[in-house]
Amino acid sequence: MTHPTPPPAPKFTHTPDSVISNTKRIIESSRTVQDKITKEVTPDNATFGAVLEPLAIDENHMGLEAAILGFYQHVSTDKVLRDASSEAEKLLDDFGIESSMREDIYKLVSAVYKANKEKPIDESPEARRLLEKMNQDYERNGLGLSESDRARFKEIKKELSLLSIDFSKRLGEENGGIWFKPEELKGVPEDVISTFKKGKGEDEGKLFCSFKYPDLFPMMKYAVNPETRKQVFLGNENKCNDNVDLFRKAMKLRDEKARLLGFKSHAEFQLATKMAKTPAKVMEFLNDLRSRLQPGGKEEIHGLRSLKKADLKEIGLQDDGKYYLWDHRYYDRLLLEKKYQLDAQKIAEYFPLTHTIDGMLKIFEVLFGLEFVEVTDDSKNVWHEDTKQFRVYNEKPSDGSEQTFVGWLYLDLHPRDGKYGHAANFNLQPGFTDENGKRHYPATALVCNFSKPTPTKPSLLKHDEVVTLFHELGHGIHDLVAITNYSRFHGTNVVRDFVEAPSQMLENWCWTVSELTSLSSHYKTGESIPKDMIDNIIRTKNINASLFNLRQLHFAFYDMKVHDLATPEDAEKVDPTSEYNNLRTDITMLDPPKGMDDHFGHGEATFGHLMGGYDAGYYGYLWSQVFSTDMFYTAFKKAPMDAATGRRYRHAVLEKGGSRDEMDSLKDFLGREPNSDAFFEDLGLGKKA
């Protein structure tokens, strides 16, 4: 089948020098646009067309280059290029701060905003939203402050930007680990051990376990020796202690910045523009969830402690009646295997990565009316040979007219030195309509860390990794199918406490019989996964779900604790490490190491979310889960592959991006106000009283 020729794909041919020179060029070009506006327009004659339109056009075109320049730091194998990319991001952040604090531009935007209040301007709803958001951004950037306070505000923003970049860089380039004797690795699957680095010299005969996910998780799930698990757990908690001071500084600076603007705390400042609106609303949500989850958590721990006692007796070790932080992944896995015959390694044999991706893309093709075509010829242009590139089209119209192009998708799925260590979706280019009415198409990348193929096996995905893949591609689909005029509203550019909902909703397809069957193909025989194995997977969806969600609650409570400080003095008094560990013990109910104080680890120093945009926003994972479950139960649960519903969802929610109020999109799709009934029902807790 032939497809229409797509527009040119992004190029990934930058050098360290070109990254910096291109960054400086687009900054200078943007500054020129801003200067020109202020020379030609005054508050008296300011209009949408004279002020906001050129600013938006400049923002659109800048977006075509800016994200890629800052992307190399996460994926390049060349440290010099990664460093240049980090430097480019610093330059762009500094310029962003400079732009956001230009009083001359603010006065013009404010004049248009006030005129619109008196007499609504004759523009589209998206343009009016642009005006509202742009004016709000300037006000939240301190432009109502005195000159000295504004100077301090700008200083803080720059410092926070540097802290965030340094924190992320240290975390990304962390390459620690532990040397173990082979006998200490008993229980860890051979295909995991075979990838471990082999020791030389004084480490002769030993194997190196890094703190990257493909090493870390199997060690925590399978290592029989509790001492081995303890060492890995403590090592991972302390792998980036250089970040401790950076986090503490960021916490203090955020608090100071919020107070300069007249907010009582950083959380109050952050939440003012979110769906939740206030810290009190967030705490009400979190406390309600905690009170409903803790009884179940206690029951789950009781059962897991019994399992641990029997297991230790079997391997000849003494039980001290504790259930430690490094016990949970191991006994959670053991419970699923022993009680539910759920063997994650056996299940993984049915989900070879390439087949699973093909199956997943087919699901999205049917649901959303898309077609994914992999680029395998000489036109392929990627940043690493392991990366897959796809052209994405709308399905061929039934009236025989030509297919239309949607965007570019990239999959970078295996770990390597210097690469981003988690799973995430990165927007590389936004979609938008330019000033001539021409459409610019999005490019989006999934960056994950699934195990590499070995000489004897392809890369095999455990079920939770299949869920991760669906989740991240959910963000990617949001990026691809959005249709907005302005890049600032494109795709996942929605409020932070809604951004996870679309991708969380797509996780539900990993818990349905027909979809798991279609995704599966045993890597040796090609057989589909047996029905009884699928039934077991689905049956165990909420096994230990209370403990899983209490872990998420720990992160959310901690985030609010360090960002909703009562007084400026608390920023000095609060010990982020002590709070992290004490809250963890209190909320998750898992025991910390015996005989160590509450500084046994520095989890906050590895908590990239809180330095990467989720500050005073981590609650959003659980908050948006309420919306995602409501959408799935209401529209898809009875018929997950109903194409008409999929397209309705695409048009009502995904296409809109942030171009209209997210609650309006949600209500449009649901046909009513959202509620939490489905969320609690899904967890087996019944409807909220």
Residues 6+ apart with CB under 8 A from 573: none
The pLDDT value given to residue 689: 45
Taking phi over 0 as left and psi of -120 to 50 as alpha, with beta for the rest, 14 belongs to beta
Nearest in space to 605 (alpha carbons), one of 93, 250, 86, 218:
250
Taking phi over 0 as left and psi of -120 to 50 as alpha, with beta for the rest, 253 belongs to alpha
Beta strands in 415-472 (DSSP E): 424-429, 432-433, 439-440, 443-447
Sign of torsion over alpha carbons 234, 236, 239, 243: negative
Residues 6+ apart with CB under 8 A from 261: 140, 142, 145, 153, 269
Question: What ranges do the domains of the chain cover?
Answer: 16-144, 175-228
Residues 6+ apart with CB under 8 A from 485: 124, 126, 127, 432, 433, 659
Q: Report the distance separating Cα 258 and Cα 263, nearest Å.
A: 5
Nearest in space to 649 (alpha carbons), one of 460, 542, 485, 508:
508
The pLDDT value given to residue 516: 95
Q: Which residues of the chain have pLDDT under 50?
A: 689
**Which of 59, 237, 371, 472 does the annotation list as catalytic?**
472
The pLDDT value given to residue 684: 80
Nearest in space to 300 (alpha carbons), one of 351, 335, 272:
335
Q: Report the distance separating Cα 580 and Cα 46, nearest Å.
A: 50
Sign of torsion over alpha carbons 38, 41, 46, 50: negative
Q: Report the distance separating Cα 663 and Cα 648, nearest Å.
A: 16
The pLDDT value given to residue 118: 87
Q: 3-class SS at 238? A: coil
Residues 6+ apart with CB under 8 A from 45: none
Amino acid sitting at position 88: A
Nearest in space to 420 (alpha carbons), one of 113, 170, 676, 151:
170
Taking phi over 0 as left and psi of -120 to 50 as alpha, with beta for the rest, 531 belongs to alpha
Task: Please report, for residues 72, 81, 209, 383, 619, the alpha-carbon distance to residue 78 in angstroms, rounded to integers and kept in the order given.
Answer: 9, 5, 23, 11, 36
> The tokens of 196 are what?
């471990």
pTM higher than 0.85 for the full model?
A: no
Phi/psi at 425 (5° precision): -110, 130
190 is catalytic: no
Task: Please report, for residues 107, 138, 483, the alpha-carbon distance to residue 101 in angstroms, rounded to integers and kept in the order given.
Answer: 11, 7, 29
Helices and strands counted in the chain (H then E): 26, 10
Q: What share of the chain is helix, strand, coil (3-state, %, to 5)?
A: 60, 5, 35
The DSSP annotation for 477-535 comes to: HHHHH---SSGGGSTT-S-TTTTTHHHHHHGGGGGSHHHHHHH---TTT-PPPPHHHHH
Sign of torsion over alpha carbons 74, 612, 392, 56: negative
Q: What is the fold, at CATH topology level, of the domain defined by 16-144? A: Glutathione S-transferase Yfyf (Class Pi); Chain A, domain 2 (1.20.1050)
The pLDDT value given to residue 428: 98
Place of tokens 């967890």: 683
- Helices of type H across 41-146: 53-75, 79-100, 103-118, 125-140
- Helices of type H across 564-604: 568-573, 576-588
Strand bridging mode 405-412 / 443-447: parallel
> The tokens of 280 are what?
């009190």
Residue-wise pLDDT tens digits, 252-311 = 999 999 999 999 999 999 999 998 999 999 999 999 999 989 999 999 999 999 999 999
